[in-house]
């Protein structure tokens, strides 16, 4: 039997019966997404590794409580987000975000070079400058490409609230990344 | 500036964020923790779900307790016994029970030890 072809639901049922191979398949399916979600929430490589590990261990120990087994992914995101919130509450109570707003002159940047490390750095800084509750919505929507209903299920907040948070986050990002947007065109 | 178009540009920019590869050691750590959890759960489950091992532990403890209580009852009925050796006189309380031959053996054994120690002291 090839476990890779099995849907989440069947793998979850196997994990409940202590099948570690099935859990490894689920880990391979979601570890990158979970790791990046956590990394872009807390911006600390070592702690992202620890929280990713903790997320999967928590998932394993409480997988019996998962009612909708086909929604394993969203449930895992929910655990990861809760881990991030606890972490941010605990360690970054007095976090100060330092923004390097000295962006390069867009006219000096060629179209091809827009995908370089500098853009990555500015995008990451722009994301970091968002408040936690805005950042988690942006990451889930834009990086994880989840729809509003899925985000609502993960964060346990109404879709309307998610829409308004996304709109405010975009406004903020627009003001920071304005140098990359010239007269309605992407530089 | 068209806000909707700007938002679309922002969305496009955000899609350019590169995803990072998680280190492989994460799975190793997760795997080790799972093994620990499974083994500790199996130990706990012996006491939780299986009555036979529980009795295997509790019954010997109960038997030991009963024996200890039995001995203490016997000691309550102890009598003063004097043991005369050649040069020393030892006086102690010993348990003598006519009902329990095992205890009789114990008390005789104690008497013998006392006797020997008395001899040693006399030397």
pLDDT bracket for residue B122 (50, 70, 90):
very low
A138 touches chain B (CB under 8 A): yes
Residue A181 CB contacts under 8 Å (≥ 6 apart), including other chains: A174, A187, B6, B9, B10
The yes-or-no verdict on residue A80 having pLDDT over 50 is yes
Mean pLDDT across chain A: 81
A56 touches chain B (CB under 8 A): yes
Structure tokens at A3: 């476990």
Cβ contacts of A123 on chain B, cutoff 8 Å: 13-14, 16-17
- Which pLDDT value is given to residue B113? 56
- CA-wise closest residue to A91 among A43, A36, A156, A139: A43
pLDDT tens digits for B22-37? 888 899 999 999 888 8
Cβ atoms A80, A55 nearer than 8 A: yes
Q: B5-26: b or e for each residue (b if 16 or more CB lie within 10 Å)? A: ebbebbeebbeebeeeebbeeb
Distance (Å, rounded) from C-alpha A164 to C-alpha A162? Answer: 5
Within a 10 A sphere around the Cβ of B117, how many other Cβ atoms? 13
Cβ contacts of B12 on chain A, cutoff 8 Å: 186
- Which pLDDT value is given to residue B2? 60
Cβ contacts of B7 on chain A, cutoff 8 Å: 170, 174
Q: What is the sign of the dihedral through the CA atoms of A139, A33, A17 and B44?
A: negative
| Distance between B38 CA and the closest CA of chain A, angstroms | 8
Is the complex ipTM higher than 0.85?
no
pLDDT tens digits for A38-62? 998 888 888 999 999 999 999 999 9
């Amino acid at each position: 039997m090839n476990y890779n072809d099995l849907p989440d639901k069947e793998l979850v049922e196997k994990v409940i019966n202590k099948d570690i191979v099935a859990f490894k398949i689920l880990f391979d399916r979601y570890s990158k997404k979970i790791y990046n979600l956590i990394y872009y929430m807390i911006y600390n490589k070592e702690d992202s590794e620890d929280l990713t590990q903790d997320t999967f261990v928590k998932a394993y120990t409480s997988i019996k409580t998962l009612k909708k087994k086909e929604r394993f992914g969203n449930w895992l995101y929910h655990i990861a987000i809760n881990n991030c919130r606890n972490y941010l509450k605990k360690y970054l109570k007095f976090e100060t975000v330092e923004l390097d707003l000295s962006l390069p002159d867009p006219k000096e940047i060629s179209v091809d070079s827009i995908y370089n490390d500098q853009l990555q750095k500015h995008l990451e800084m722009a994301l970091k400058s968002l408040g936690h509750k805005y950042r988690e919505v942006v990451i889930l929507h834009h990086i994880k490409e989840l729809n509003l209903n899925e985000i609502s299920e993960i964060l346990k907040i109404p879709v309307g609230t998610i829409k308004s948070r996304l709109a405010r986050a975009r406004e903020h990002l627009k003001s920071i990344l304005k140098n990359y947007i010239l007269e309605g065109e992407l530089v | 500036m068209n806000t909707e178009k700007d938002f679309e540009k922002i969305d496009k920019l955000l899609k350019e964020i590169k995803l990072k590869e998680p280190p492989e050691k994460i799975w190793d750590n997760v795997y080790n923790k799972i093994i620990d959890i499974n083994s500790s759960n199996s130990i706990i489950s012996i006491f939780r779900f299986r009555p036979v091992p529980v009795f295997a532990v509790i019954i010997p403890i109960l038997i030991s307790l009963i024996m200890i209580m039995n001995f203490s009852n016997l000691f309550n009925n102890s009598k003063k016994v004097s043991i005369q050796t050649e040069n020393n006189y030892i006086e102690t309380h010993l348990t003598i029970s006519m009902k329990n031959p095992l205890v009789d053996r114990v008390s005789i054994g104690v008497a013998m030890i006392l006797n020997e120690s008395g001899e040693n002291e006399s030397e």
